[in-house]
Homo-oligomer: A and B are copies of this chain.
Amino acid sequence: MRKPAPTFRLDELATRFTLERHGPSDTLIHGVATLASANREQLAFLANPRYASQLANTQAGVVVLTADQARHCLVPTLVAKDPYAAFARIATLFESRPTAQPGIHPSAVVDPTAIIDPGASIGPGCVIEQGVRIERGAVIGPHGMIGPDCSIGAHSRLLANVTLVTRVHLGQRVLIHPGAVLGADGFGLAFSEEHWLKMPQLGGVKIGNDCEIGANTTIDRGTLDDTILEQDVHLDNQIQIAHNVIIGAHTAMAGCSAVAGSTHIGRYCLIGGGAGILGHLEVGDRVTITAMSLVTNNIRASGEYSSGMPLQNHHLWRRNAVRLKHLDELTRRVAALEKEKTRHE
């Protein structure tokens, strides 16, 4: 079932979100859009200064922006300290999510030992195995696979094709996008007698309240203890979290980043896209790692860290890259010149 598109008055939005209003109180808003594409019945926002030039020509009915930018705006505005956050709150009003039907779809295969709240929704083709517990308001999308001894907290939502392998415990309001795999065996191998011996993976995965896990992201179960995401951790798509990793509350990781086994990451960290963090490390709180950086040592001090060569025209890059292979030697040559100079002085 779909609800009709909602409508809000400008004064209603100003009051509800405690924003300063400039413009007629009865301006009607039927939706949200970007500065460039909004029409007179839509609300837009300006947060990134890159897009400030779009303000002059916007057709939006209302714009959410800072007091500074509001001075340049010819259409009605809502003034916010953080326009991005304010817009996020307003946009939620216009989100239409198909409401999931409570109950178990007849095509789902459910083990008799599973305990499923009658208010939970189990989609078509789901497989729910032994000892599973699913709380009220939880939604498991089509083809969800919930393996032995997993539990899913109230109001958590798993979209299509999510797999929880074994001993995965989700808190409340966890959101998991399609194709994510939680609780697969960690990559534990011992080399013995010229072949690999698989280390049994016996731990689980614990995901705190309000976490979000991106599409096709993988989080392995711990070897003995659990792999842990504390509350409000946000992982983008195609992230790899190895066994026994712990990620502190409120940390966010961008797409394709990866954390190797047994590393602990602090709270309020920001990990850039494609960044890699080696195993058995400690990364403190409020650490930012920029995109595609490689972390090979503990990081104790909060702050921003980077690695990665800058992009160049391929031919220039080639010349510099070749020289890089001799940088140690070059440094010694400079030291020799300096010594020589000193000797002559």
Contacts and interface: CB of A to CB of B under 8 A. Distances in A.
A84 B190 contact: yes
A184 interface: yes
Nearest to A148: B98
A305 interface: yes
A196 B127 CA distance: 32
Contacts of A311: 289, 293-297, 299, 305-307
A199 interface: yes
A234 B196 CA distance: 8
Contact of A85 (B147, B191, B225, B340): B191
A294 B225 CA distance: 33
A330 B333 contact: no
Contacts of A254: 187, 260
Contacts of A215: 163, 181, 184, 218, 220
23 contacts: A32-B202, A33-B224, A84-B190, A84-B199, A94-B202, A98-B129, A124-B127, A125-B127, A141-B145, A159-B165, A159-B184, A165-B178, A181-B215, A184-B214, A184-B215, A195-B210, A238-B258, A240-B256, A305-B314, A323-B327, A323-B330, A330-B330, A334-B337
